[in-house]
Structure 1
Amino acid sequence: MSSLQVDVLAYEAPCERCSFSLWWVFGLLPSYRPRGEEFTTTDFPEAVDMARRILAAPDGDTADVAAQLYDRPAWQRGRSFNPNRCGACGHHADWHVLDAILTHVYHHKGWIHAAAGRVPVPEWRAIRGGGQGIHWPYC
């Protein structure tokens, strides 16, 4: 089965409760010749799972970031979800915080390539573009 390399994108910002600086994982994008419409936000379970697996790879040093990703509660539905939780105090901010980070990064850059990993092409195709319809301008 063929695979492609996918980047996990993050943004460094403080926790709104304790001010601990953390990496807010907000998106996935193919590493090689990405197209703007392939940008995928991490506000749904399949993208969170993929980001977690890439971040937790044994050859990287981002396992702590992977451990901060929160699974969507079973009762919660819809696109409005923030998977990030603070590694210091455990605060799980609502989706408005992730939305504000996405808006800021979209307009001002400043994101971090947190990690990259290979994923099966069919798995990527099943989730790509599953984000909020945001066309990533920095491809």
Structure 2
Amino acid sequence: MNTLRVDVLAYDMPCRQCALPLWWVFALLPSHRPRGDEFTTTDFPEAVEMARRILADPSGDTADMAAQLRPRPAWQQGRGFNPNTCGRCGHQAEWHVLDDVMHDAFHEGCIRAAEGRIPIGEWRAIRGRGQGIFWPFL
């Protein structure tokens, strides 16, 4: 099976409810020579699941981040979903906070929280559904 190395991107920003410092997972991006249109945001269930699998890899130290990514509630549809929850108070901020995270990460820089290998077919399936936006810094 052919695989692709994918980075999980995060940004350091405190919880808006209890001020605990958090690494907010906001996107996935291929590690090797990515294009701007391959930037895939984590406001889609498939991208959240992919990020969770990469972060939960036992060889890394990001399992706590994986546990803080919640799936989309059944009643919520479309874009505009923030999967990140606070490890202390459990607060799950609204989607606009994830937009703020992406905006700040674009201007101030982001953290490559983890990297993992994903089957190319899975990556193409996510990309084929338009899950993402153009990331101009690439």
Please tell me the TM-score bracket, short chain as reference: over 0.9
In the TM superposition, residue 18 of structure 1 has moved relative to its aligned partner by 0.3
Query: How far apart in 1 are the matches of 2:109 and 2:67?
Result: 23
Match of 2:105 in 1: 105
Tell me the TM-score normalized by structure 2.
Answer: 0.95
Which aligned runs of 4 or more in structure 1 are off by greater than 3 angstroms? none
Query: How far apart in 1 are the matches of 2:131 and 2:77?
Result: 15
In the TM superposition, residue 122 of structure 1 has moved relative to its aligned partner by 0.4
CA deviation map 1:78-130 (0-9, x unaligned): 10100000011100101010011112222x13210000000000000011251
RMSD: 0.9
Query: How far apart in 1 are the matches of 2:30 and 2:77?
Result: 27
Match of 1:8 in 2: 8
List gaps (5 residues or longer) in structure 1: none
CA deviation map 1:48-103 (0-9, x unaligned): 00000000001000000000001100111110100000011100101010011112
Q: Where in structure 2 are the equivalents of 1:1-139 lying within 5 Å?
A: 1-106=1-106, 108-128=107-127, 129-131=130-132, 134-139=133-138
List gaps (5 residues or longer) in structure 2: none
Identical-pair percentage: 68
Query: How far apart in 2 are the matches of 1:109 and 1:15?
Result: 18
Amino acid at match of 1:111: C
Give aligned pairs, total. Answer: 136
Tell me the TM-score normalized by structure 1.
Answer: 0.95
Query: How far apart in 1 are the matches of 2:108 and 2:44?
Result: 23
In the TM superposition, residue 138 of structure 1 has moved relative to its aligned partner by 2.7
